[in-house]
Every structure is written in C-alpha cells, then in structure tokens.
Amino acid sequence: MALPQTTETPAQVLTGAVKIEVSASANMAGAVDIGAANGVKYTEEMKVSTLENDNAVDRDVVTEQKGMIEFEQMQMLNEAARAIMRGSLDTITPIAGTPVTGATQTIYSGAWVYNQFTPFVHQNGSGATISITSVTASTNGVLVAGTDYFKGKDETGVYGIYVVDSSTVTTQAQNIVIVYDYTPSASIEYTTGGKSDLPYFYIRLTNENEDGDLVVWQSLGKCNLTKGDEIVFKKYNADDPRVPIPVSIQIRQDITLATGAQLMKRTVTPYV
C-alpha cells in the first residue's frame, strides 16, 4: 500500500533569513534595521482557560495572548536602534575630542545627482549639526546655502547635504567640494542603573517565501524588552569569535485597536 502523499505549495514555504526593524511609531515611520542576528524566533503565546460546567461539556477559551521575539544580536545595537528599544534607561555621554577645522570632502562627478542626500564623512560626536564653511562646484563655483544646496540629516541622525537644480548649478558633471568643521568624540560613555521606565516600540520582520513573495510580520501591539544585556565572551581561538548578545522582546495586545487585530499583522506581497 502506497504511503499517503501531498503536493508542496511553494507560496506557503518560508525560506532564508529575516530582516529585523524597530520603530517608535506604530506605522513604522523611521524604521531602523537592528543589524546582524542569529536564531531569530517569533512565538505566539496563548493562555487557554477551561470554562467548566456541571451539566454541559467544558469549553476552552483564550484568556491571554501575546508574542515573543527572541534572537542573538551579533553586533552591538546601533545608536538609533538602542534609543528606540532602551530609551532613557541608559545615559549616553560623548566625551569631546579635538575640534577639526576645515575638513574637506569631495563628491566626485558621477557620484551625485540633484536632490540626493550625501552624508558628511565626519560627524560631531555630540550629534550636533555640522558647521559648513563652504560648498564649491568645480564648474559653477561657490554655492549658496538655501538656494543651491541644503543641509539636512537622515533618519539615523547623520548630517549631510543635497545639491539642487538651481539657476547656479547648471550641470551634474562636476565635483562638489565641501569644507566644514566638526568635533569628534574621544570616547563615548554608556551608563545605566537607577531608572525604571522602558519605552514601548514596534517591530517588523521581513522574510520571503519560495516564490519570492515578501512576507512581513508587523507588531500591532506595543513591544518592550524583557531582559537586559547578557554578554558571554568567547575563547581566544574560537571558530566564530563574535560575541552574541541574547535579546528578548515581548509584544502585548493593544486593546484600543479593533478586536481581532490587536497583536500582529502578516502581509504577503507577491513577487513581480
């Protein structure tokens, strides 16, 4: 007698790794990639209670539902992700180094286009805005702030500029030379202890199935960390010398949302 068989459905087979992003906003605005991780696991936890009857069949109901996301962080959290996940629990103090005056950065022809953000190679250790001395185009000469170029920063807080298509900037086939001042950090101190408030945040996991469709899990409920840093250093000649840091994140239902959509949302976007 032949063994029972079935047909695999590729669209329901998940493959490969997952990207992890966090945000302080429910709509995932300004989402930050937390970086390399191993053993990423999402678990939906349910507390099932039995409603007992003396004269009828007992009935089981879900009385509590939450999510847990666990993984080993293979790099220290970047500053943007750490701020979202730990908030004011930590105090970060940059220790100023020696100020640098007249740093020069050249954006070569072919490496920039109009309205494209280009970060400064160097940043102030304090996170303060960069002081620009001059911006000069090799063909069009000195550029004017607010007319020919604008200074800004990206979602991670890194400052830079973008050159616009103004009456002065007549071509993109030229080099742009930026001169600016900055003060790097000599070191950065991270202190913790004595504070009790943990921030809530939101998380998004992005994977793909065998057909190449994007599969995204996004928390609807609020997330928070459930454990602090745990660092176990490796043997000096370990095959993989990287030091993993276990991370545990809890997702609680948001009862202010519509019933049936208070914990997690899964979205499948077909591969085109």
One digit per residue, the tens of pLDDT, for the chain of length 272 reads 677 888 888 778 888 889 999 999 999 998 999 999 999 999 999 999 999 999 999 999 999 999 999 999 998 888 889 999 999 899 988 899 999 999 999 999 999 999 999 999 999 998 899 999 999 999 999 999 999 999 999 877 899 999 999 999 999 999 999 999 999 999 989 999 999 889 999 999 999 888 888 999 999 999 999 999 999 999 999 999 999 999 999 999 999 999 999 999 999 998 87
Q: Are strands 32-33 and 59-73 parallel, antiparallel or unpaired?
A: unpaired
Q: Which amino acid is at 24?
A: A
Integer angstrom CA distances of residue 153 from 83, 145, 210:
17, 15, 38
A 10 A CB-CB count for 20 gives: 23
Structure tokens at 145: 């702030």
List the one residue out of 31, 29, 43, 30 whose CA is nearest residue 71.
Answer: 43
Task: Give the pLDDT score at 77.
Answer: 84
Task: Give the pLDDT score at 111.
Answer: 94
Task: Give the pLDDT score at 7.
Answer: 85
Q: What is the DSSP letter of 128?
A: P
List the one residue out of 207, 205, 213, 209 whose CA is nearest residue 264.
Answer: 205
> Which pTM value belongs to this model?
0.74
- Say which residues have a Cβ less than 8 Å from residue 249's Cβ, sequence separation at least 6: 68, 69, 70, 85, 203, 223, 224, 225, 226
Domain boundaries, the chain: 10-91+192-269, 98-183
Three-state secondary structure readout of 132-186:
EEEEEECCCEECCECCCEEEEECCCCCEEEEECCCCCCCCCCCCEEEEEEECCEE
A 10 A CB-CB count for 169 gives: 21
List the one residue out of 154, 157, 200, 204 whose CA is nearest residue 27.
Answer: 204
End-to-end CA distance of the chain: 43
Structure tokens at 11: 């669209």
Task: Give the pLDDT score at 220.
Answer: 97
Q: Are residues 20 and 203 in contact, defined by beta-carbon separation less than 8 angstroms?
A: yes
What are residue 80's phi and psi, to 5 degrees? -65, -45
